[in-house]
Copies of this chain bind each other. A is one copy, B any other.
Amino acid sequence: MIQDPYSLPAEEFYERGHTYFLPHISIDCVIFGFHDNQLKVLLLEWKDSLRWSLPGGFILKDEDIDQAATTILLKRTGLEKIHLQQFHTFGDPNRDRKKHGINPPKGSNSKGWLMDRFVTIGYWALVEHSKVTPTPDAFSRSCSWCEVSEVPELILDHNLIIEKALESLRQQLNDYPIGFNLLPAKFTMPELQSLYETILGEKLDRRNFQKKILSLGILTRLNERKQGGAHKAPYLYKFDRKKYQMALKRGLSFGI
């Protein structure tokens, strides 16, 4: 028994995965990034080049499910500390590759464990786009960012999973200041506003937005401005974890 079954070649993973993992249970991750004023998700392109799917994985027989999700995130992005959120478990009995006409790799047993019905636990994650190294898994030829509104048809119910993840993300963005996880350490107010507008899908008033965000008292304005863009250079801000902790104690009222 080796330590990391994900390092196995695809054929062996397919034939022997069931000795490592809980059967019938998987994890799927909707990994959000923000780039060029667009909200993107990380997708895998299969080696047969005809199918796309969400990054996913399985749960070791003695592994915590959050830990399993963290491992998947690390493998696909190279990042360790990631804002991670379980949001829904999908249990339609048609979540079954056989029923969707997905065949096992050539030469493999067509009754392999991967061809069973799976209940999948959905997680979404927020990552800083520029820090991610998209890395395909053993079954994929590529791993790449895709704008949320341009996601192609994915296997099984993965399109539905993205929809539900977005819904949950919008909800959370309204209740907690989690948007910073999608931006670099230093960012401008217009960048933050654009992020909110993109995710929530509505235009916001520039002045009221700034007032609201600053009133939370969790940002520090730096003595730097973002140079390079055309027009007036905006200030840079950073998210202040200490201020955030203090604000939490006295009760943080959010809602954009």
Question: In the complex the two chains form, what is the Cα distance from A66 to B88 in whole Å?
Answer: 12
Nearest B residue to A63 via CB reads B93
Would you list which residues of chain A between 39 and 88 have a CB under 8 Å from chain B?
59, 61-66, 68, 86, 88
- Our pick among B22, B63, B89 for the contact of A89 (Cβ within 8 Å) is B89
Question: In the complex the two chains form, what is the Cα distance from A88 to B87 in whole Å?
Answer: 7
Q: How many copies does the complex hold?
A: 2
Q: How many residues of A contact B (CB 8 A)?
A: 21
Find out whether the CB atom of B25 lies under 8 angstroms from the CB atom of A93.
no
Q: List 15 A-B contacts (CB under 8 A).
A: A23-B23, A24-B24, A25-B119, A59-B91, A59-B119, A61-B117, A62-B93, A62-B117, A64-B92, A64-B93, A65-B89, A68-B91, A86-B88, A86-B89, A89-B89
- Report the 10 A-B pairs with minimum CB-CB distance, sorted nearest first: A65-B91, A89-B89, A62-B93, A22-B24, A89-B121, A64-B93, A64-B92, A25-B119, A23-B23, A64-B91
- Give residues in A with beta carbon < 8 Å to B: 22-25, 59, 61-66, 68, 86, 88-89, 91-93, 117, 119, 121
